[in-house]
Chain A
Amino acid sequence: MAHIKLLNEELPGIVGLLNYRPETAKPLLLLAETLLRGPSSLTSGDREIIAASVSWWNQCHFCHTSHAAAAVAHFQCDPGLIDDIKKGLPNTDISDKLRALLHIAHQVQSNGKEVTAEDVAFARELGATDQEIHDTVLIAAAFCMYNRYVDGLGTWAPQANEAYKEMGERMAHVGYGKS
């Protein structure tokens, strides 16, 4: 049970919180829509992998599984990707550039100051642009917020990966804050 009395206790994770406080829901959804589905040279699938990885490092089951399911929907790939993200993607064919960006995201997850000039130079050598480095840092930072919001208020989340299939497809193809 959540730490506060939500208006609809059947809504899982952040969904119940967005429903509880529409004033904050609006910018939170616009931020997610812009970061994950807005125009970018990074594909939405790659950006969802960054979001899901940071959420896993923050041990936020709801955000990890739902954003990993969104990545699966974007790539139309095997849902095994959800668990592969937990292991650091040993069995998924992703670019070296994305691996370098994921390293930057991991540093941000710990603390912004952990990102070094070498981390950034390495990503740049593999083709990352300033905008992509910016977006990676902000996606990682934003999920350090969403994850704390979801867990800090003690929301509930479905356990099984399969329970997130439909949610992931909606996040990928309909978007955030759209009905």
Chain B
Amino acid sequence: MPHIDLPKDYPGIRSLFVFCHETAVPLCNLVQVLLHDPHPTLTAGERELIASYVSNLNTCKFCTATHSAIAKHQLGSELALVKQVLADPETAPISDKLKALLKIGAKVQLGGKNVTAQDVAIARGKGATDIEIHDTVLIAAAFCMYNRYVDGLATWQPDNEEFYDKMGAQRKREGYTPASINIKLDDQLRTS
């Protein structure tokens, strides 16, 4: 049961966006820029993989399932590939650059000071640019916030793979505008 009186029928962070609209706006705008808006070099799929990987390290079920599904749709891949990345990026079929960026993301998850000049040099050696390193650190840091927000208020996090998959397809289409996120679970399963 959630720690505070959240609107029923809205899962995870959506219930918090409905509860508090003032903070929902910057929170949605931030994730839109980080994960959905055009990026000079990183694809939306790659950025969603960083988000789901960090959410999994933080053991946040809702964010992991949501961003895994979005990553699947953005990459046009199977969910199995995303799960392989979450389990062990080193052996997953992704670029060496993305492996190095995920390693930086894992360091950030533990605490910002864990990122060393060597971690950054390795990523750069695999072709990572400054803006990619910047965005990787900020995506990882931001999910250390979103995950804590969702779990810290004990939001409702359904076990329903179909729900997450439909939300993944919808986020790929519509991005993270505050209005498009304000949809109930029932509506999601009916319309998407």
Query: Which A residues have a C-beta under 8 Å from some C-beta of B?
Result: 3-5, 17, 20-21, 23-24, 26-28, 30-31, 34-35, 38, 58-60, 104, 107-108, 111-113, 115, 117, 120, 130-131, 133-134, 137-138, 140-142, 144-154
A4 touches B23 (CB 8 A): no
Does B163 sit within 8 A of A, measured CB to CB?
no
Does B34 sit within 8 A of A, measured CB to CB?
yes
Q: Kindly count the residue-residue contacts between A and B in the assembled complex, taking CB atoms under 8 Å apart.
A: 151
B148 touches A111 (CB 8 A): yes
The stretch of B44-52, B81-89, B107-115, B181-189 in contact with A is: B107-115
A134 touches B151 (CB 8 A): no
The residues in B between 133 and 151 inclusive whose CB is less than 8 angstroms from any CB of A are 133-135, 137-138, 140-142, 144-151
- Closest approach, in angstroms, between the C-beta of B56 and any C-beta of chain A? 13
A154 touches B153 (CB 8 A): no
Query: Which B residues have a C-beta under 8 Å from some C-beta of A?
Result: 1, 3-5, 16, 19-20, 22-23, 25-27, 29-30, 33-34, 37, 58-60, 104, 107-108, 111-113, 115, 117, 120, 130-131, 133-135, 137-138, 140-142, 144-154
Q: Which residue of A lies closest to B37 (CB)?
A: A23
- Closest approach, in angstroms, between the C-beta of A8 and any C-beta of chain B? 14
Tell me whether A21 and B111 are in contact in the complex, defined as CB-CB below 8 angstroms, given that A115-B152, A137-B153, A152-B141 are known contacts.
no
- Closest approach, in angstroms, between the C-beta of B139 and any C-beta of chain A? 10
A4 to B104, CA, bound (A): 13
